[in-house]
A and B are shown apart, each in its own frame.
Chain A
Amino acid sequence: MSGALAVSARLAWRNLWRNHRRTLIMLAAISIGVWAMIFMSALMRGMTDQMVRNGLRTLPGEVQVHAPGYRDDPSVANSMAWPQGALLSALQQPPVQAWSARVRVPAMIASERESRGVTLLGVDPASERALGSAPHADEISEGRFLEGPGDDGIVLGAALARKLDTGLGKRVVIMSQDPQNNVADRGMRVVGLFRARLEGTEELYAYTGRQPLQALLNIGDEISEVAASAGDYRHTARWAPALVSAAGPQLEVKTWRELDPYLGTMLRVQDGFSLIFMVVIFAVLSFGLVNTLAMAVFERVREIGLMQALGMRPGAILRLLLLESLYLLLLSLVAGNLAAWLTIKPLERGIDLSIVAEGMAMMGLGTTLYPALAWSDMLFSTAVVVLLGVLASLLPAWRAARLDPVQAINQV
């Protein structure tokens, strides 16, 4: 360490504590600001995280495999073969944690009174559960969910059952087209009703066993899509490419960001919003910081002149004041980050927001908010505070460095 810098390190620290009260007030203000930055970001991150997770539950999965034409025309004509070879072994090993091969076709569903268009899913309930896309036990309002891929009962959304004026134990007729455009229809018994957070989901999806649907559509063991999940949607880019090459050119592999661009956009908006929020909070705090430092310079004009007379260069004076400001910022960052960590960690199990739940549900959220503490937010806020803080301190520090030593020394 150079001589002047070593002197500055000690002097800056002692100067910081010359006016305890002022320093402590500033320290508290910046710490609270830092805490607010991280806490708000954690809340927002928790919200978007939940929105994305909910979105991925109905997508479902983070990566999907289809026959090339399926996404333009999601009909049974664009089915794909049951996964095999490289694709199958890729699906069966890490990082893939769960995958499901499903039939997904548009169908008409009719009771004796009403009929509706739905998306009919022929699924294997065990793999759907592993994927997280099947209704949870507490979402089954009546009856049961499917028992296996051969189950030929049908599970409807509660809202759809109301619209169709049907109910548990009743029979409905489903109607779709086979690959040769022949109408395929059969009756099915309603074995369960499910609830979803969004009524739209209840009206859109109906579940039956994969095998009865394959038989009805006359497609052998072909399926519409494979959905796979590795647990964390943030890391999809790491493993999706391996699946692309395993699937080969005859199949189309898409990540959730491609399948639902809206979800990806939401994440980016969240990051941008956090940053703007941090900058705004700290911009307000900088006024206090500049003011504090300007006061400190004003009170110490004489000794700054003295230090210049003794041979400290203007640059060293500038550094001395920046260092004092940096100490204050770093202390505040430690306090603010610690406070954020201590307050967010216990809340990560969820904050009950049932009072305002109506509005939350509309935004695609549950009634419990899970704040998510992210290292990146702590890092970002630290960067914002240090960068803007030092920038704001430059002006008073520069003024101090430009003081005329003779005038400064004569000032009493």
Chain B
Amino acid sequence: MSAVVCEAVCRTFHQGDALITGLDHVSLEIQPGEFLCLSGPSGSGKTTLLNAIGALDTPDGGEITVGGQRLGSLSRAELAELRLRRIGFVFQAYNLIPVLTARENVEFVMQVQGLSAARRRAVADEMLAAVGLAGLEERRPAQLSGGQQQRVAVARAVASGPDLVLADEPTANLDSHSSAHLMDLFEQLNGERGVTFVIATHDPGVMGYARRLVRMLDGRVVADEAQTPQRMAHE
């Protein structure tokens, strides 16, 4: 079974009287364990597509299936449940809840899932160590650098045990060293845990990591090809 299937997905935005095309008949099939980058210039529809796949936004045409579930047939609560159990999100910035510590942020989704305190804590600490933040568990987001905050977000996205991680410009606010570090981490998690990654980016360095590169333009998929991954150099 495919991890994600998009069939002729359309999304149009209304801005005043103007109609803006977000997605124009996008069809895409993603297999479990893929490491896929969505690329394309700003405004090409990457975010809109990720939001639609992540059940945050409802397309006005076409059909999306995630893990075998057709999103169009689910209620608001069921969509929330799907996001909670199966999808991990990493946004461009402001990923964390400011009043919670790094550990509590990582535990957040697991706690909503209803995991026991001991289990949560063990997983959270393991994940924070995996993203290189051992020792910073008690810090609040304001006491962490941008790169560290993104890594907490990655730890949270993976800790809840999702099948699919959606990352929207995860390196946009990071320096090249932090970017390389984060992408290495994605690649490692993908390899070790078999989690499917879909990463929207217009950073060529990030695209290099992908085994499959999907190019978008004006809301359409204009290229979809396999490639040999290439890591960024750490300077």
Q: Do A and B come from one complex?
A: yes
A residues in contact (CB < 8 Å) with B:
2-4, 6-7, 10-11, 14-15, 18, 302-303, 306-316, 405-406, 409, 412
Query: In the complex, are the beta carbons of B56 and A309 less than 8 A apart?
Result: yes
Interface presence of B233 (CB below 8 A): no
A-B contact pairs, 5 of them (CB 8 A): A3-B115, A7-B108, A311-B81, A311-B84, A406-B56
* Interface contact A312-B94, CB-CB below 8 Å: no
Known interface pairs A3-B115, A406-B57. Does A311 touch B100 (Cβ–Cβ under 8 Å)? no
Q: Provide the bound-state CA to CA distance between A308 and B76, in Å.
A: 10
A4 to chain B, nearest CB (A): 5
Q: Which of B56, B81, B89, B114 contacts A2 (CB 8 A)?
A: B114
Chain B residues, Cβ within 8 Å of A315: 77
Whether B97 pairs with A311 at a CB distance below 8 angstroms is: no
Residues of B with C-beta under 8 A to A18: 98-99
Q: Tell me, rounded to whole Å, the shortest Cβ–Cβ distance linking A22 to chain B.
A: 15
Is B100 a contact partner of A11 (Cβ separation < 8 A)? yes
Find the B residue at minimum CB distance from A412. Answer: B94
Give the Cβ gap from A175 to chain B, nearest Cβ, in Å.
88
Is B113 interfacial (CB 8 A cutoff)? yes
Chain A's nearest CB lies how many Å from the CB of B124? 13
Which residues of B are in contact with A by a Cβ distance under 8 Å? Answer: 51, 54, 56-57, 76-77, 80-85, 87, 89, 91, 94-95, 97-100, 104, 108-109, 111-115, 156
Contact across chains for B51 and A406 when beta carbons are under 8 A apart: yes
**A316 contacts which chain B residues (CB < 8 A)?**
112
**Min CB–CB distance B128 → chain A (angstroms):** 17
CB distance from A153 to the nearest CB of B (A): 82
B100 touches A14 (CB 8 A): yes
Q: Is there an interface contact between B80 and A308, defined as CB atoms closer than 8 Å?
A: yes
Which of B51, B77, B97 lies in contact with A11, CB distance below 8 A?
B97
B22 CB → nearest A CB, Å: 11
Contact assessment for B111 and A7 in the assembled complex, using a CB-CB cutoff below 8 Å: yes
In the complex, what residue of chain B is closest to A11 when comparing beta carbons?
Answer: B99
- The interface residues of chain B lying within 8 Å CB-to-CB of A7 are 108, 111-112
On whether the beta carbons of B113 and A313 are closer than 8 Å, the reply is no
CB distance from B94 to the nearest CB of A (A): 6
With A14-B99, A412-B94 known to touch, is A314 a contact of B109 (CB < 8 Å)?
no
Q: How far is the CA of A11 from the CA of B111 in the complex (A)?
A: 12
CB distance A314 to B76 under 8 Å? yes
Q: Which 4 pairs show the lowest CB-CB distances between chains A and B? A: A311-B84, A3-B114, A14-B99, A311-B83
Q: In the complex, what's the smallest C-beta–C-beta distance from A138 to chain B, in angstroms?
A: 65
CB <8 Å contact, B54 and A309: yes
A308 to B55, CA, bound (A): 11
Output the least CB separation between B191 and chain A (Å).
Answer: 25
Which chain B residues lie closer than 8 Å to A412 at the CB level?
Answer: 94
User: Known interface pairs A2-B114, A311-B109, A313-B77. Does A302 touch B94 (Cβ–Cβ under 8 Å)?
Assistant: yes
User: Do A309 and B83 touch (CB < 8 A)?
Assistant: yes
Q: Which of A14, A15, A303, A314 contacts B77 (CB 8 A)?
A: A314
B112 touches A311 (CB 8 A): yes
Tell me whether A310 and B89 are in contact in the complex, defined as CB-CB below 8 angstroms, given that A406-B51, A412-B94 are known contacts: yes
Residues of B near A15 (CB, < 8 A) are: 99
Q: Which residues from chain B contact A306 at a C-beta distance below 8 Å?
A: 91, 94-95, 97
Contacts of A406 in B (CB 8 A): 51, 56-57
Q: How far is the CA of A307 from the CA of B108 in the complex (A)?
A: 9
> Min CB distance, A298 to chain B, in Å?
15
Extra pairs beyond A406-B56, A409-B94 (15, CB < 8 Å): A3-B111, A7-B108, A11-B97, A14-B99, A303-B98, A306-B95, A308-B80, A309-B56, A309-B83, A310-B109, A311-B84, A311-B113, A313-B77, A314-B76, A412-B94
- A310 near B98 with CB under 8 A, answer no
Tell me, rounded to whole Å, the shortest Cβ–Cβ distance linking B2 to chain A. 22
User: Which one, B51, B104, B108, contacts A310 given CB within 8 A?
Assistant: B108
A310–B112 touching, CB < 8 Å: yes
| Chain A residue at minimum C-beta to C-beta distance from B54 | A309
Q: A406–B55 Cα gap in the complex (Å)?
A: 10
- In the complex, what distance in Å separates the CA atom of A314 from the CA atom of B84? 13
Min C-beta distance of A302 to chain B, whole Å? 6
Q: Which residue of B lies closest to A15 (CB)?
A: B99
Q: Which residues of B contact A2 (CB under 8 A)?
A: 114
The smallest beta-carbon distance between B43 and chain A, in angstroms, is 14
State how many angstroms separate the Cβ of B170 from the closest Cβ of chain A: 14
